[in-house]
Structure 1
Amino acid sequence: MSWYSVIYTKARHFRSQSPVLGTLLQWSFYVCVLIELLLYGGSSFVYFSITTQIIESDIQASIYLVVYGLLSFMMVWAYARVISSSPNRVPREYEFDEATDAKLRAVTPFNPQGRPMMDQCNETQVAAQRRIMDEFAAARGITLVEVDQHSRLRYCYECRVLKPDRTHHCSSCGFCAVRFDHHCPYLNSCVAAHNYKFFVLFLMYLVTWMIWNVVGGLQAIIVYFCTGYDRLDMIIPLCCLWVLQTASSIWPLGELLRYHWLLISLNETTCEQAKIPNIRGDPKANYDVGRWKNIEIVFGWGLWLFPVRTTTTDGLHHPINYVEPAADAAQFRVTGTAESDPTRSPTATTPLP
């Protein structure tokens, strides 16, 4: 559990004991968002008040400001969509009733803190757990492909839900998020299926905005020293901002953007990079169905550059690339081969319940 997950968990516990103060404490977690907005406002002030004074050409200054305004608008729009999008929680049909949950807990060992010890189950317990979860899934018409190392379906004892494929429990938010990627404390938001497109667009426009500031700021600095300005109150803030944004546009923000584009091209999540999903029927199977199809899964049918919801998937059912399918993989419907690479193995999708 990360350091901020510990803070979020303790805050939820405190809120259960003191609802009013606990709510105020959880709202205080938006302090990072406030700091980021203040930094954006300060950067905008420096850019507008100093750069436009130093660059003498009205046409050139206008071009800089128009592009700056467009990038700022798109960046703030995407930022607002990230933090305001409601989380995609697991649907009710995946939730265990109290009787079924009690039967599963009866065959599951727990540590003194009340956490299930799934790796310490004996063969009898594993068989009983597998039978209970398989029967529940069959009764609800649910088809899942991800299992744990003991071929059990994945169950969240805290949320009391059978986890859909690519779903993970966010310890910071306190619930299971569909197609979970990561929790970002700097946005005070869980990044998952509901806002992943907006998150990537925010990073893209933020890095582009910084690069544009670096270009305009560099010219302003050159003009300042070449024309004999003697205003330290102008050049010092400008140089400090230029160094900060030059470094940030390369690392960590530029590197973070590159990393997430790599994940998109492979149809992976940050969570799956740390723990490879175990897809039954093929130990080497993955969700990579070709670069362009992978991009379409995240960005949807069009308007890729705009932070509007265009996805055509529900986050619960995913195409699968079987590499060495076993006999039991035949229960999944084969949909063809990836268009981008004729040598790829056939892909299959989990059928809708």
Structure 2
Amino acid sequence: MISNRSQSIPISTVPAVTQLAIECLTEDRGDDRRQRRTCCGCLESIFNWMPVIFIVGLIVYSYYVYVWHLCLQNMRNHSAIVLGVVLFWYHLLLLMFLWSYWSSMWAKVMPIPAEWSIPDADWTRLIRANGLEERRHILSHVARRLPITMCDQNGVVRYCGQCRLIKPDRAHHCRICQRCILKMDHHCPWVNNCVHFHNYKFFLLFLIYASLYCLYVLVTLLLELHHAWGFDFDNVDLNSLQTMIPIVLAMIFTGATMIMLGLHIYLLLLNRTTMESAHAPMFCVGGRTRKAFNLGCCANLCEVFGDRWYLWPLPVYSSRGDGLTFPLREGSISSASSADF
């Protein structure tokens, strides 16, 4: 005789099954989050590269109109020497423009050395600190051997909570790059990179050559328009429209790049970053001032372009210093020590 025994799940296995189900659901949700983050990261990356794609598209369009339409089609009645000179200077400016643009875009953001990092034990004490004085004491201890002169508005050593390090003078955290940047000027969408200590020279040359390139295109287009049509707009045809559009674009971008260039030359001669121009830096000795790094026009110029004048026109690294410490104007402020905080 066969007995009918009910098949049931032992009670002891219920928690294990429940835990397994929870882990499966959690894993699925984690995968969904990772997929969403990946998707958002791709969209953000595409969005960040859009200004660069726009600039490259304009360069390709201007090259087609200038070289093919203007020089090889409309300037055939000029002598070969004139045409050769026009094309030579055009391609030289274009080459320097693209070289400096590429250097600004792909210049490596150098990491801040490990000795500026806050040790784990000090970091734990810092996040648990109660009050300003306790934080001041902890940070002063961590930064006691570091060459810093700047502090925050409370007179406390500057530090980054995301990178967990003491900020060197003139360094700031970039929310787009998600890291601390040495001598950060600003994050430029047109190069999809921060303008910082190691590429500021490249960025200045990019503005210089972009301005010269746009101005050269504008002037030669206007001269050819005057030569071909004498500015008689009653006889405008398709060919002249193909020249007028680049003229308008050249006017817009010549004005924009020259304004930017003028601003940064002004800041260069004062040895001041865009961020320091907007918000005067705070020093542990001397208080808030924008003049501490101003060494004089010539010295300020050499700080960025270096001591070898023959390298100034080239987008190759030649700046003075290491981006961690900077010479101060004589008599402006004194170097800090941990006792000053």
SS, match of residue 109 in structure 2: coil
Aligned-pair identity in percent equals: 29
Q: Which residue of 1 aligns with 2:53?
A: 34
Residue 280 (structure 1) shift: 2.2
Q: Which residue of 1 aligns with 2:78?
A: 57
Asked if 1:25 is matched to 2:43, the reply is yes
Q: Does the C-alpha gap of structure 1 residues 128 and 60 become closer, same or farther in structure 2, counting only changes over 3 Å?
A: same
- Report the residue type matching 1:282 in the other structure: G
Whole-angstrom distance in 1 between the partners of 2:104 and 2:90? 21
CA offsets 1:3-41 (integer angstroms, 9 cap, x no match): xxxxxxxxxxx9966564355334312122122111101
1:242 aligned residue (244, 247, 268): 247
SS, match of residue 283 in structure 2: coil
Structure 1 length-normalised TM: 0.78
- Report the residue type matching 1:242 in the other structure: I
TM alignment of 1:1-353, pairs within 5 A: 18=36, 20-28=38-46, 29-52=48-71, 53-55=73-75, 56-58=77-79, 59-107=81-129, 125-138=131-144, 141-226=145-230, 232-250=237-255, 252-283=256-287, 284=289, 286-302=292-308, 303-323=311-331, 325=333, 329=334
Structure 2 length-normalised TM: 0.81
Contact 1:54 1:223 in 2 (8 A): no
The number of residues matched between the two structures is 297
CA offsets 1:44-90 (integer angstroms, 9 cap, x no match): 11111232233332222211110000000001011111111111232
Residue 102 (structure 1) shift: 1.5
Contact 1:282 1:323 in 2 (8 A): no
SS, match of residue 86 in structure 1: coil
Contact 1:16 1:22 in 2 (8 A): no
Q: Does the C-alpha gap of structure 1 residues 48 and 280 become closer, same or farther in structure 2, counting only changes over 3 Å?
A: same
Whole-angstrom distance in 1 between the partners of 2:178 and 2:276? 19
Q: Does the C-alpha gap of structure 1 residues 319 and 305 become closer, same or farther in structure 2, counting only changes over 3 Å?
A: same
Structure number with bigger Rg: 2
Residue 203 (structure 1) shift: 0.7
CA offsets 1:136-191 (integer angstroms, 9 cap, x no match): 112xx212100112211101111111000000111111111000000012221111
Question: RMSD over aligned Cα, in angstroms?
Answer: 2.3
Residue 227 (structure 1) shift: 10
SS, match of residue 320 in structure 1: coil
Contact 2:306 2:319 in 1 (8 A): yes
Contact 2:147 2:325 in 1 (8 A): no
Residue 293 (structure 1) shift: 0.8
SS, match of residue 190 in structure 1: strand
Contact 2:182 2:323 in 1 (8 A): yes
Whole-angstrom distance in 2 between the partners of 1:227 and 1:153? 63
Gap regions ≥5 residues in structure 2: 1-31
Which deviates more, 53-62 or 298-307?
A: 53-62
Contact 1:71 1:208 in 2 (8 A): yes
